[in-house]
Structure formats: structure tokens, C-alpha cells
Structure 1
Amino acid sequence: MPSNGSKEADDSQTWELAERCLLPIAFSHAIAVILATILNTFGISQTSSFVLFLLLLVISVGSTLFYHNLKVTAAGKAILITGCDSRVGYALVKQLDDLGFTVFAGFNNKAENEDIMQKLKDHASGRLHVLQLDITSERDIHSTFLYVNENLPDGAPGLWALVHAAAWVTLGECEWVPPSVLKRSIDINFIGLARLTQVFLPLVRRSKGRIVLISSLLARIPSPVRGIYCALKAAVEAWGSCLRLEMRRWGVDVVIVETGEYVSGNAWLKDNTALLEQARDMWTQLDPQTRKEYGQELFQAEMLALEKYTQGPEADLTAVTRTLMDAVVKTFPMRRYTPVTRSERIQALCNHYLPKPIYDILYTN
């Protein structure tokens, strides 16, 4: 995680282009070798495979870059975004509204976010719709579906995109988390997300649109104190990958945006004090014997670990919102975006390729 006083450059776009171009480059080399062999064998031409490779490389990479940067028109397209009371959801609503999309902004609790909603309305166009949408409420989900279906732009066959920005971060030792907190975290981060998608898929399918899921690099990196969050993000990624395969026949894209650990530990949290109070409540709910085995000293150390992910300057969301915008507006979005820092990307690679004992020595305190 980058320190509070420094900011690492965002090189995620470079990685995205490299991922896009890798397969065309490999195919260009293979086809060049095959063509050169055929031409030389039959005496048709003595052109070298390297010259053919350069020619095919220019054609394939140029076509890939054109394909990579194509964007859809915003007119007549509607987007539903959940969790607009978070910084990332709020920023995304503003940017998509500015581009000309019809945006349905879902707030978990309208009564608690009246100031934010009014500010959003004051700076947005008349196309913006602000909705009450608690994704754990079946009533909210169905009332939102009816409202969206009745207020689609003229001529729109369905919903262009469903963006899941709602999240609820649960931090603490796996043994500490009480059943009520565990259930709420599962309901918001996975069950509510899956249920909302089920209800809205017919609308998305009609427009051959896309589902955008916000995950985290922690889905692939084990992290003490954040075990529940790691598990739920891993579940979202696995579920999203299966959904993508199932939706291919309908022309529906499922895009996973995998954020960095600092962003997912800070940007979705509105009240850091409440988070620390929640952790203390977890501690007091443990039975006395378990508290004795862990000890007050370890608990204090864990509190400091929580503050590391919740205090300090606000996380820079530029890279995250940029990738979310790409996931919505690109004609051919990537299956996965990873707007993370270089050190986080290296950590993920080490976790994937290094033996686990070596990784634990390098990254686990």
C-alpha cells in the first residue's frame, strides 16, 4: 500500500494495452513464420519471416488499438448505479451524466443522504433519477426495477449497464466477527448483488449491455484482519466469471474492476470512527476465554492495523473511476480491469507465482 505522503503513478492503462496487444503480436509472429516457410518452400518469394512479422504487426496492433478505443454513444442509453452514497458511486454518476447517459442513482438510505442527493441534483441534468435502493431489500429491488423499466429513454430496448458500487467493509480477525455482522456483510457484498443482477438481467439482455462488478485485489491476496472481505470479493469474482460465460450467448458483457487494497479499505468507508467502534463491539462480544487467549495487547495492535486502512488522506479514485467509465462506455470492454499501484501488482504476482512460504516471509508480518 502506498504511503500517505506519496502517490504512485497509475500505469494500469499500459498494462491494459499490453494485455490487448499480446495475443495479436503472438499471432502475427506465428503467421509470419508459416507464410515465410510456405513462400520459400514453393519458391514464390524469398521474403523473410521478420519482414512479414513487421507488416502483420503494424496491421494487427493498429487494428487492436482502434478496437480498444471504440466507445458507444450515450444518447438513449440508461445506467443503474448502486451505492451512490459512496465516493466512487457519486463520482461515477456525475461523469456519466455529463456524457449524456440517463443515470439511475441508487442510494442505500435516501433519508440519511438528503444533502448529497440535493447536491447531486443541483449539478446534474434532468436525465438523472435518484432512487431509494437498499440491495438487501427485495421490496427496494423490485420497486426500482418497475421505476427503471417505466422511465427508460425513448427508444431504449433495455438497460445499458448495471454498475455495482455498493459495498460494506468488514474488518477484524475471522474468529472475532459475530454472526450478525457476518450475515450483513454477506447480504450486501454478495447476496444483494447477485439478487439485483438476477432481477435486472432481462433488461440488460434486451439492450445487449453489461454488468460491472467492483471487486478487489484482496480477492487474490490473503490478508489478516480482512479475511471476510477477501472471501466475499473472491466469491464475487468467481460468480462474475461464471456469469460472463453464461451471458456470452446473449451478447452481454460482464466486467470485473479489481481495485487496490487502499481504495477498497478507505473509499467505501464514510465513517472511520464507526468502523473502529464496530471492531470494539466485536471484541466485547467474544467469550472471556477467547479474549484471554488473544490478549488486550494483540487487540490494540489490530486496532492500529485497522487505522492504517481507514485514516489519512482520502484515497485517489482517479484510476478507479477511469476504469469504471471504460467498463461502461467502451464498445469492447476488457473482461477485467486492475487499477492498482505498481507495488500492489507486484505483490499479486508474487502471491501467484512464488512458493507460499517465501511470499509469507516477504509480505506477512
Structure 2
Amino acid sequence: MPPPNTNKDTDDSQTWELAERCLLPIAFSHAVAVILATILNTFGISQTSSFVLFLMLLAISLGSTLFYHNLKVTAAGKAVLITGCDSRVGYALAKQLDDLGYTVFAGFTNKIENEELAQKLKKEASGRLHTLQLDATNERDIHSTFLYVNENLPDGAPGLWALVHAAAWVALGECEWVPPSVVKRSIDINFIGVTRLTQIFLPLVRRSKGRVVLVGSLLARIPSPVRGIYCAVKAAIEAWGTCLRLEMRRWGVDVVIVETGEYISGNAWLKDNAALLEQARDMWTQLDPQTRKEYGQELFQKEMLALEKYTQGPEADLTPVTRALTDGVIKTFPLRRYTPVSRSERIQALLSDHLPKAVYDIIYTN
């Protein structure tokens, strides 16, 4: 298992996003320039070269793309529901969107346990921010939140502008070790809860022609040992989110996937890192004696040390993730996918997508 990413690489995700958006206009400008120059030269209308036409069209298309890329919606009268505000990501996003002028409904998975954090957020934010009890695996929480949000939308708002799924629950361990109860909980929180909450709130989002923002993971594309369950549920979210985007186009609803990198370390997603290690020990003790014997205590200790590197490492810089989630909410024309990851992770993902798997495994598999 590779060491945790401390995010010391320069954040160049915005450069990649702009390059991705400019790629099609550049290709279009070149194609049109060649066709137009051929027509003009064939009929003797003009002897203008395709290169000159390309430069002219490129300036126009890139200027339009930059304007298009940076357009933002007006925050006044728009409401956003965010789940998982008891995590660093959800908390920071709720505060940032409130500062930008949005009406924020901040959902806490367990508000009673996090009452102090909820009160701190309420104190730091404006009067527009609401803190709610919202466990996405609890049907009663989902419906009560729907009623509350529907009754407390800003004046004149047709519906909910954005639904942001920031809640996450990480389960790490060898695939054979993970008991059914842990698999079920991971699927319930990271997938079923997300899909169910989205189903309930889609009518409100559809009325405002808003967007659904999903937190995916690069691990869905570059799966690795010990994180099998987490990789699987994130792959499910990515596939489901892509299908939802295609289905929602007729309604003018955007579905944005923010593909994060290694943000497990340093209390980034986890409130209690010690619980992750305890969870791994419980998995080990629940294995039957024969399986434990075959794996061996030495392998278990080695993987526990690897997990400790994740849970005891320096706190990850979540600014790129928060920025990407914010862009998914505030941009008039958001990208379908944001990938706020380090340069090394981006290269690894590109190699995983395009290299033969046998070659990729030689490079990255220990």
C-alpha cells in the first residue's frame, strides 16, 4: 500500500480544469479553419491561410470559453443542503457557501454528539444558516429534513439550488477480513444513503434547475489493496452519478462529481482516527482461526502499521477539495467532473486509464 499523500504538490487542478474546457474549442477552431480556408481557396475568394484563420477563430473561441468558464450564479435566494457537516470538508464548505450569500442547510450525521460543533458553525455563520440532524441512512431524518427545507426556502426560491453529499464513512481492511456488518454499513452510508436522499430531494432540485454534487474518489479508478470496500462504493457512486447526469439533462439539472484523492489521513474525513485502527483489529479477531493462521500475525502487524500512517499522518490540505465543491455549486456551467488531486495522483490515474493493466501493476503494485 502506498504511503499517504501529504498534498505537498502544487495544486494545479484549476489549470487542468481550464485545459479540459479549452480542448474542444481548440480542436473546433482548427477544424473550421482548415475547412473554411479550403473553401475560400477552392473558389478563389481569398488566399487566406488556414493558420491565420485558426489564430482568429482560436482567439474568439478561447475568449468565449474563458468568459463561459468563469460565470457564476447569483447567491441571493438560493439554498444549498450539505450532508456530513461534522467532517472537516462539510463544515468548511457550509461556512464558505454561507459567506458567499447562500442559504445553507448544514446536515449533521449525529447532531447530538456534535452539538458543540454545530453551535460553533451557527455562531460563525450568518442567520441564513440552519443546522439539522440528517443521517442519510435514516428514513425519518431524510423526510423530516425534506419538510424543514421545503418550509424554510428563501423567499421566491422555486426549490433547492444544490444538494451536496459530503458525508463519508471509511472502512479499511483486506477484502477477506471485512465482516458483512461493516460492508453493509459502508454501502448504506456511502451509496444507498446518497441515492435515497437524492431521490427524495430531486423534485426540489428539479424545480430550481439546480445541481447535485457527489463526492467520489480517485480510488474508484485506481483501486488498491486494503481499501477494497471503499474503492467499490466510490466506483458505484461514480457510475450512478454518471447515469443520473444523463437522465437529468432533460430537466436542466447538473450532476457534478468531485473526485478526491488520498484524504483519509490526518483526520480529514474521520472524526476519530483511533476507531479505524480498532475497527481493523476487530475484523482480525472475528476471522476464523484457520484464516488468521494462513495470513499470519506478521502480515497483520505490517498492515496495521500502514493504517497508522494514514490515521496519524499530518492533516491534509482540503482547500482544493473545498474549492472544487464550491465551484460545483456556484459556477453557472460547472464541469461534469472535478479532480482536485496531487500531480502524482493525476499521473497515476492517467497511467491506470491508458496503460495495459499488466504494465501498470508492475509500476505501482508493491
Which bracket does the TM-score occupy, shorter chain normalised?
over 0.9
SS of the residue 2:310 aligns to: helix
Taking the aligned partners of 2:4 and 2:223, their CA distance within structure 1 comes to: 20
1:272 shift after superposition: 1.0
What's 1:172 paired with? 173
What's 1:140 paired with? 141
1:2 shift after superposition: 7.7
Distance 1:264 1:304, change over 3 A: closer
What's 2:303 paired with? 302
1:264 shift after superposition: 7.8
SS of the residue 2:278 aligns to: helix
Give, as a single letter, the amino acid of the residue that structure 2 aligns with 1:240: G
What's 1:357 paired with? 358
What's 2:158 paired with? 157
1:349 shift after superposition: 1.1
Q: Equivalent residues in 2 for 1:1-365 (5 A)?
A: 7-263=8-264, 266-365=267-366
Give, as a single letter, the amino acid of the residue that structure 1 aligns with 2:100: L
Give, as a single letter, the amino acid of the residue that structure 1 aligns with 2:40: L
SS of the residue 1:134 aligns to: coil
Taking the aligned partners of 1:110 and 1:350, their CA distance within structure 2 comes to: 42
1:307 shift after superposition: 1.6
1:5 shift after superposition: 7.0
RMSD of equivalent CA atoms: 1.3
Give, as a single letter, the amino acid of the residue that structure 2 aligns with 1:227: G
Taking the aligned partners of 1:317 and 1:49, their CA distance within structure 2 comes to: 45
Distance 1:263 1:284, change over 3 A: closer
Taking the aligned partners of 2:107 and 2:6, their CA distance within structure 1 comes to: 34
1:351 shift after superposition: 1.1
Please say if residues 146 and 200 of structure 2, whose CA atoms lie closer than 8 Å, have aligned partners that are also in contact: yes
Taking the aligned partners of 2:343 and 2:72, their CA distance within structure 1 comes to: 27
SS of the residue 1:79 aligns to: strand
> Identical aligned pairs, as a percentage?
86
Distance 1:205 1:348, change over 3 A: same
Taking the aligned partners of 2:267 and 2:214, their CA distance within structure 1 comes to: 18
Taking the aligned partners of 2:101 and 2:84, their CA distance within structure 1 comes to: 21
Distance 1:150 1:6, change over 3 A: closer
Taking the aligned partners of 1:72 and 1:251, their CA distance within structure 2 comes to: 14
Taking the aligned partners of 1:91 and 1:127, their CA distance within structure 2 comes to: 16
Taking the aligned partners of 1:265 and 1:227, their CA distance within structure 2 comes to: 21
Please say if residues 142 and 197 of structure 2, whose CA atoms lie closer than 8 Å, have aligned partners that are also in contact: yes
Taking the aligned partners of 1:95 and 1:63, their CA distance within structure 2 comes to: 28
Taking the aligned partners of 2:8 and 2:280, their CA distance within structure 1 comes to: 29
CA offsets per residue over residues 77-121 of structure 1, 9 Å max, x none?
Answer: 000000000000000000000011000000001111011011111
Taking the aligned partners of 1:264 and 1:167, their CA distance within structure 2 comes to: 14
Distance 1:55 1:279, change over 3 A: same
Please say if residues 263 and 317 of structure 1, whose CA atoms lie closer than 8 Å, have aligned partners that are also in contact: no
Taking the aligned partners of 2:143 and 2:259, their CA distance within structure 1 comes to: 28
Distance 1:92 1:145, change over 3 A: same
Give, as a single letter, the amino acid of the residue that structure 2 aligns with 1:52: L
Give, as a single letter, the amino acid of the residue that structure 2 aligns with 1:91: A
Q: Which moved more, 1:184-193 or 1:257-266?
A: 257-266
Taking the aligned partners of 2:51 and 2:74, their CA distance within structure 1 comes to: 40
1:261 shift after superposition: 2.0
Taking the aligned partners of 1:4 and 1:331, their CA distance within structure 2 comes to: 32
CA offsets per residue over residues 163-204 of structure 1, 9 Å max, x none?
Answer: 000010000000000111111000000000000000000000
Give, as a single letter, the amino acid of the residue that structure 2 aligns with 1:255: V
Please say if residues 4 and 313 of structure 1, whose CA atoms lie closer than 8 Å, have aligned partners that are also in contact: no
SS of the residue 1:118 aligns to: helix
Please say if residues 264 and 270 of structure 2, whose CA atoms lie closer than 8 Å, have aligned partners that are also in contact: no
Please say if residues 4 and 309 of structure 2, whose CA atoms lie closer than 8 Å, have aligned partners that are also in contact: no
Distance 1:336 1:67, change over 3 A: same
Please say if residues 121 and 128 of structure 1, whose CA atoms lie closer than 8 Å, have aligned partners that are also in contact: yes
Taking the aligned partners of 1:123 and 1:5, their CA distance within structure 2 comes to: 28
CA offsets per residue over residues 272-319 of structure 1, 9 Å max, x none?
Answer: 111100100000001111001101000001111212222211100010
SS of the residue 2:114 aligns to: helix
Please say if residues 4 and 312 of structure 1, whose CA atoms lie closer than 8 Å, have aligned partners that are also in contact: no
1:230 shift after superposition: 0.3
Taking the aligned partners of 1:261 and 1:68, their CA distance within structure 2 comes to: 27
Please say if residues 219 and 231 of structure 2, whose CA atoms lie closer than 8 Å, have aligned partners that are also in contact: yes
Taking the aligned partners of 2:157 and 2:24, their CA distance within structure 1 comes to: 35
Unaligned runs of 5+ in 2: none
Give, as a single letter, the amino acid of the residue that structure 2 aligns with 1:155: G
1:358 shift after superposition: 1.7
